[in-house]
Structure 1
Amino acid sequence: MAEETVEVRLLTAEDYLDLKESMVSAYQDMQGSYWREGTIQKLISLFPDGQIAVTVNGKVVGCALAIIVDYEKFGDDHTYEQITGYYTFNTHNPKGDTLYGIEVFVNPEYRGKRLARRLYDARKALCENLNLEGIVAGGRIPNYEKYADQMSPRIYIEKVRDKEIYDPTLTFQFSNDFIVKKILRNYLPNDAASKGFATLLQWFNIYYEKDRDTIRYNKSTVRIGLVQWQMRTYSGMKGLLQQVEFFVDAVSDYEADFVVFPEFFNAPIMMEFNELQPGAAIRGLAKYTEQLREEFSRFAVSYNVNIISGTMPIVVDEQLYNISYLCRRDGTWESYKKIHPTPSEVYAWGMKGGNEVKVFDTDCGKIGIQICYDIEFPELGRIMAQQGVQIIFVPFLTDTQNGYNRVRFCAQARAVENECYVAIAGCVGNLPRVTNMDLQYAQSAVLTPSDFAFPVTGIKADATPNTEMIVVADVDLVLLKELHAFGSVQNLKDLRTDLYEVTTKKK
């Protein structure tokens, strides 16, 4: 038996006779339904990249035809004649936002070889390469005539989706990640098998970037620098800032997009308040917070890197909070207050918890901050995931390996369940002359979801435990999009929101 060769390529005018033969065979239930030669030639001339053929041993046995449209001009209520400009294709707009599929078929003699899937894959690749929002098409439901007396089109579509009924067209569309936007009446009035009904189908391009051609754009690969900070005695604020700038400089030399400092990295400055009670000492440290924030903002601009400032105490309306700053490299900044102070923070210092869960926009995607103990509460990660978070930064401070493991294990869980990256940065060493800050244990790390595109361990990079150093790692945000859409499991997509939900209460 001779081997068959299969090729997917652009359709040419010379392919017309094979194309007509295959189309007549494909639409035996719609007599006379085939494309005229002049129409095919016009489509090829108008949009050659959109006309795709599949051949077996050199013979065209199927095709996928498409145009680009400005979809808002048509909306969801349109007919086939309207979307094609009554077969003139004057609706084709090279600057449009949607690839509109006007035809897909495979000669019945060649079915069972997954040729239609190859056509769909080629069409999806075209959509991605052209940076279009997605693919829209009207789809027949040719088996509906067998069930029209028993159920409405809506019930029929639901049963096809749930695999209770097989439809040669719609079942295939569902298996190729298309969704049904609505049911169209009289889309193809001569389609007796579908009783004049059609499904309006849509496939979303997860790689679409609305502002891809602008100077300021969100990067797909993001470089993160973590500072594993050694606690030591400093000669006041000046000495501390010199060490901060040293690390910002070192990380920026690697052209990093983010540098992350740990929780309470500035604790050595509390030494000057040692004669005070713990609650008064931490409030004394809070007097330096505004100065630190200003310096971090200056460093972010000077070294062209976004900075997660670690954390520091702040007093607001006489209440003490643990705060972290996002200092962007464009000079803007925002803040996040630790929501869950640990029992020791409450007991020793009288720390209060913040009341806002939020995600920050940056030039490198959407990021969140959770401070140490916060990462042990999965609700926060889920709320951030609902807001589109891509990277969660966790400044932490732990004194024992048990405490560290709680942060580490929970951070890995957040990365898996929320399909995002989690970067944790901690302090090492000891401060024997600072009350309540004796010992620190840390192993800073960049953690990933768990699927084929990511490291088997779920660890992109990590530090040597209890050693002052930096960790620099690249994370690919495109991999997150692919995970959301095509992962082996899809935690966010498969949430049973009909059964449960996580929401915030307004305070």
Structure 2
Amino acid sequence: MHASPEMAAIKKRIAYFVRSVASYQADFVIFPEFFVAPLMAPYFHLTAAQAARALASHADEILDWFRELSQKHRINIITGSMPVLEQGALLNRGYLCHRNGSVEYYEKIHVTPDEAATWGMVGGETFRVFETDCGRIGVLICYDVEFPELGRILASEGMQILFVPFLTDVASGYRRVRYCAQARAIENECYVVISGCVGLAEEVHNLETHFAASAVFTPCDFAFPANGIMTEATPNIEMHLIADVDFMLLRDLHASGSVRNLKDRRTKLYDVLDKRMGKAP
């Protein structure tokens, strides 16, 4: 994350990463959660909640830029996320810009206590599997990956890659996201890609510091890396990662893996337990 508060500089940075990743013939590029936060710097004189709403006023311009780049470079873009205003409510929303020009969106379902208290942000209700020209993908923003229910719902709808844009300020927060993302890869037998912000933004309310190491995770079985890590970035260094995933390996895992988490679920028993929990005081 660079501290420039200028839209032109942000657009230039976005274009660089899209162009660079596309040059490797990649099918997807993912940006982090709130990576456009430096645009909040001119609003430092406002409260954090007011600054977040001011940032939301730039959402349409940023989305238009992503849409243009996705078509120009023939790459599907997961735009990370940014605040948007929807009927007066402040949401954390991101977009999937397909290289054919179409656009879909996803929202952060669970906002953190800090996001609610500091920005007045509320949780969204929109998450689903997206059909792309390369396969079925899902997107969970940061904290959402810490809720296994969401990943399991997406897996039940055929998700092959889960993308997780995130923003964490300290190592403990990062490791919560990372370890939960790795768990989602194992239990849902899919690939998981995490992308986070690094660097400083001293003049941005509530987003001054960042800790991250982006990575691509796999299930843990014989056809995959033993540690479930396909590739990962150097912590707190701005860089991009390139990974080539194989959906045939997932199909083989579903059918004949050492363990078969998706097949071996005891769903009838879970239904009984859910009802029991629902009756608990």
Alignment equivalent of 1:473, drawn from 237, 243, 260: 243
Alignment equivalent of 1:316, drawn from 86, 89, 93: 86
Secondary structure of the equivalent of 1:238? Answer: helix
2:254 equivalent to 1:492 = no
1:164 matched to which residue of 2?
none
CA apart distance, 1:235: 5.1
AA paired with 1:372? Answer: C
CA distance in 1, matches of 2:180, 2:232: 16
CA apart distance, 1:236: 1.1
2:277 matched to which residue of 1?
none
After the TM superposition, which parts of structure 1 deviate over 3 Å for at least 4 consecutive aligned residues?
A: none
2:194 equivalent to 1:453 = no
CA distance in 2, matches of 1:436, 1:249: 30
TM-score normalised per structure 1: 0.53
Larger Rg: 1
Q: Which has the higher helix share?
A: 2
1:206 matched to which residue of 2?
none
Mapping of residues 290-309 of structure 1, within 5 Å:
290-309=60-79
CA distance in 1, matches of 2:128, 2:203: 36
Secondary structure of the equivalent of 1:498? Answer: helix
**Contact 1:373–1:407, Cα closer than 8 Å, also in 2:** yes
CA distance in 2, matches of 1:496, 1:379: 15
1:389 matched to which residue of 2?
159
2:36 matched to which residue of 1?
266
AA paired with 2:166? Answer: F
1:399 matched to which residue of 2?
169
Mapping of residues 124-273 of structure 1, within 5 Å:
231-234=1-4, 236-273=6-43
TM-score normalised per structure 2: 0.95
CA distance in 1, matches of 2:43, 2:5: 14
Mapping of residues 35-114 of structure 1, within 5 Å:
none
1:218 matched to which residue of 2?
none
2:112 equivalent to 1:342 = yes
2:46 matched to which residue of 1?
276
CA apart distance, 1:498: 1.5
Secondary structure of the equivalent of 2:243? Answer: strand
CA distance in 2, matches of 1:430, 1:235: 13
Aligned length: 272
CA apart distance, 1:432: 1.1
CA apart distance, 1:487: 0.5
CA apart distance, 1:232: 1.9
Q: CA RMSD in A?
A: 0.9
Q: Which has the higher strand share?
A: 1
CA distance in 1, matches of 2:20, 2:268: 49
**Contact 2:2–2:199, Cα closer than 8 Å, also in 1:** yes
Residue 457 and residue 294 in structure 1: after superposition, are their counterparts in 2 closer, same or farther (change >3 A)? same
Residue 397 and residue 235 in structure 1: after superposition, are their counterparts in 2 closer, same or farther (change >3 A)? closer
CA apart distance, 1:289: 0.5
Secondary structure of the equivalent of 1:361? Answer: strand
Q: What's the CA shift string for 1:363-382, capped at 9, x where partnerless?
A: 11000000000000000000
CA distance in 2, matches of 1:255, 1:392: 20
CA distance in 1, matches of 2:208, 2:80: 19
CA apart distance, 1:357: 2.9
CA distance in 2, matches of 1:470, 1:355: 30
2:96 equivalent to 1:326 = yes
AA paired with 1:386? Answer: S
1:428 matched to which residue of 2?
198
Secondary structure of the equivalent of 2:222? Answer: coil
1:112 matched to which residue of 2?
none
| Structure 1 unaligned blocks of 5 or more | 1-230, 503-507
**Contact 1:445–1:459, Cα closer than 8 Å, also in 2:** yes
**Contact 1:357–1:383, Cα closer than 8 Å, also in 2:** no
**Contact 1:314–1:322, Cα closer than 8 Å, also in 2:** yes
**Contact 1:414–1:422, Cα closer than 8 Å, also in 2:** yes
CA apart distance, 1:416: 0.2
CA distance in 2, matches of 1:252, 1:442: 23
Residue 235 and residue 440 in structure 1: after superposition, are their counterparts in 2 closer, same or farther (change >3 A)? closer
Q: What's the CA shift string for 1:107-163, capped at 9, x where partnerless?
A: xxxxxxxxxxxxxxxxxxxxxxxxxxxxxxxxxxxxxxxxxxxxxxxxxxxxxxxxx
CA distance in 2, matches of 1:253, 1:357: 30
**Contact 1:431–1:437, Cα closer than 8 Å, also in 2:** yes
Secondary structure of the equivalent of 1:368? Answer: strand
**Contact 2:3–2:200, Cα closer than 8 Å, also in 1:** no
1:365 matched to which residue of 2?
135
